[in-house]
Amino acid sequence: MTDEAILQLYPDMKMLPLQGLYLGHDLRRRETKTPFVYANFVASLDGRIAVPDREKGGMKVPPQIANERDWRLFQELAIQADLIITTGRYLRDYAAGKAQEILRVHDDPRFADLQAWRATQGLPAQPDLVVISGSLDFPIPEALTHGGRRVLVVTHRKADPQRVRALEADLGQVLTAGDERVKGRTFVQMMGEMGYRFIYSAAGPKIAHMLLADDALDRLYLTQVCRVLGGASFSSIVEGPPLLVDLPLLRLYYDPHAFNAVGQLFACYGRREAVVL
């Protein structure tokens, strides 16, 4: 159920409905000179965001923390985007039936209100997709391009020319945003030049590192389920060389209703000087 209220803890205390919580942040009313980039993760108290999927292979959100209340908020963030970031790895898993559906937003009767909201904004039914990949070794599932949805590919200048040509034959132009790796700021500027204003990263910790390392992430949404999972295999929300990025807390909510009152926290971090909530 997603109708039980939650408690806002910061910056002030009040009760709020879960449904519409992140939609109420109204990201699209922001006036910015460059695209607004935001990301979202769900994690356990010990920071676990993914575990190996022993049945299908690949990685998946731990079932002990996946829940429909967080999933509702994921959809509310995705529905506000012009462009969703994904990766070649995700598309390989998607084509093999190993990945959770995260790229077709509101593709569920439970989210009919979000589909209606997007229509009232005069937006296409689905945000476009951008695949960030160095290997360029992935398929483009037909389900993701249905209805005229555009799929962009961004790589670096040392990518395999043969794979570049193959993707160009299927999708059109393959864009480069860096010499040996995709640079976050270059990528964001390029997307802005193409008319994209609101970019949502539904990708993993390596893309989060790329964005943070190049000061290209404006906001981080983090759901923290009040459970410790442990285990030998561990995946953080950011993976890559050490970095230091300050992301002040903007909003904090407590949801006591998840997992039979185990509870979870919804936190929003970002650039304080750019806050419009």
Q: Are 137 and 96 in contact (CB under 8 A)?
A: no
Tens of pLDDT, residue by residue over 196-233, are 999 999 899 999 999 999 999 999 999 999 999 988 66
Are 201 and 85 contacting, i.e. CB atoms less than 8 angstroms apart? yes
**Token output for 260:** 């039979």
Question: pLDDT higher for 243 or 60?
Answer: 243
How confident is the model at residue 2, as a pLDDT? 66
What's at 242, amino acid-wise?
P
pLDDT digits (tens, 9 = 90+) for 92-134: 877 777 666 666 766 678 899 999 999 999 999 889 999 999 9
What angle is formed at CA 28 by the lines to CA 22 and CA 30, rounded to 5 degrees?
105
Q: Residue 219 and residue 127: Cα distance in Å, rounded?
A: 19
What's the number of domains the chain is made of? Answer: 1
Say what percent of the chain tops pLDDT 70. 91
Q: Tell me what pLDDT residue 98 has.
A: 66
Residue 61: pLDDT above 70? yes
pTM: 0.92
Q: Which domain holds residue 100?
A: 5-274
Within 8 A by CB and 6+ apart from 144, the residues are 94, 103, 104, 129, 151
Q: What CATH number corresponds to the domain at position 54?
A: 3.40.430.10
Kindly tell me the sign of the dihedral angle through the C-alpha atoms of 27, 82, 39, 267: positive
